[in-house]
Amino acid sequence: MTYNTIIVLAGACLLGALCGAVGSFAVLRRRALMGDVMAHAALPGLPLAFLLAGGKSLPMLLTGAAVSIFLGMGWFAAMRYRTRTHDDAAMALVLASMFGLGIVLLRHVQNVSTGGHAGLESFIFGKTAGMVASDVWITGGVALVCLGVIAVAYKELRLVCFDPGFAASTGLRVGWVDFLITGLLALAVVVGLPMVGVVMVAALTIIPAVAARFWTESLGPMLGIASVFGALACALGVMVSASQERMPSGPLIVLAAAVLFVVSALFAPQRGLVARRLRLERLRHAWREGRLEA
């Protein structure tokens, strides 16, 4: 393996683990598609940061993306909680309008700037192979911060994820915990965007978490499994991509995650389809033999 492959592998695995863990909260809170909305809402921040900073410095661009996501989420919350618009409609609206704004601004940058803007569009589809060592450090740093936040707020997060009604009755501010989850998700999306692009980063926050849910009923193991699945999918995707001509890593990562999802959905011991079918057959059998009369 070349140095470059190792860098890409390390960065992608970190990103996969981060997205898997953080995405678990979103999936459990039934906001699985929020990562998708955020990834789209980040776009306007990139050209704006480019214009303000006068260049393509990655930290500036990521800050721009984060600010843009924050504003998008603010708009979502305003529509959702201050008007009678429902979750799904507010999400779709923010996603499309913010992305439209992003495209308008990108075009504007192309018009006014003399050069150096090339590559801003690569945020839409991502450029995994273009990863450098500093990206790995940034991803690692963000992952550490997220891990710290999760560890500190673990009890509250768990309560809100599995029984928000009870959480509220104990005096916990569910809104703030949701805000925390949103923040964590936004961080993961922001670092993932330049690596794998809009749709693929959304996929990374959803698929490993949904797959992990099949294997366990408790939060701790789910976070662990989702992280492992995310990292595994990224590793597989990057390695296949590196060994083959014209195989982009972003889509391969998502497809690897899809394989993990299918395996989990079929063969997970309790909630998997095979286990369910077996249970059903056993029940039918017992019924036919008359062992169920009670």
Give the footprint of other proteins on this chain (CB under 8 A): 27, 30-33, 35-36, 75, 78-79, 82-108, 111, 121, 124-125, 199-200, 202-203, 206-207, 209-210, 213-214, 246-248, 250-255, 257-258, 261, 265, 271, 273
Closer CB to other proteins, 177 or 211, in the complex: 211
- Least Å from the CB of residue 109 to other proteins: 10
Q: With contact defined as beta carbons under 8 Å apart, do 18 and 221 qualify?
A: no
Minimum CB separation of residue 122 from other proteins in Å reads 11
Minimum distance of other proteins from residue 140's CB (angstroms): 25
User: Shortest approach of other proteins to residue 290 CB, angstroms?
Assistant: 30
Nearer CB in complex with other proteins: 26/138 = 26
- For residue 209, give Cα distances in angstroms to 149, 187, 216, 255: 18, 17, 11, 15
Alpha carbons 192 and 186: distance in angstroms, whole number: 10
Residue placing its CB nearer to other proteins in the complex, 160 or 209: 209
Which residue, 63 or 85, is less far from other proteins as judged by CB?
A: 85
- Torsion angles phi and psi, residue 275, rounded to 5: -60, -40
Using CA atoms, how far residue 197 sits from 186, 190, 208, 250, in Å, is 14, 10, 17, 8
Instruction: Work out whether the CA dihedral 85, 87, 92, 93 comes out positive or negative.
Output: positive
Q: What whole-number distance in Å separates Cα of residue 68 and Cα of residue 71?
A: 5
Distance of closest approach, residue 127 Cβ to other proteins, in angstroms: 13
Contact 91, 185 (CB under 8 A): no
* Residue 96 or 292 having the CB closest to other proteins: 96
Give me the least distance between CB of 125 and other proteins, in Å please: 6
Phi and psi torsions of 83, nearest 5°? -130, 180
Strands (E), the chain: none
Residue nearer to other proteins on the CB measure, 63 or 97: 97
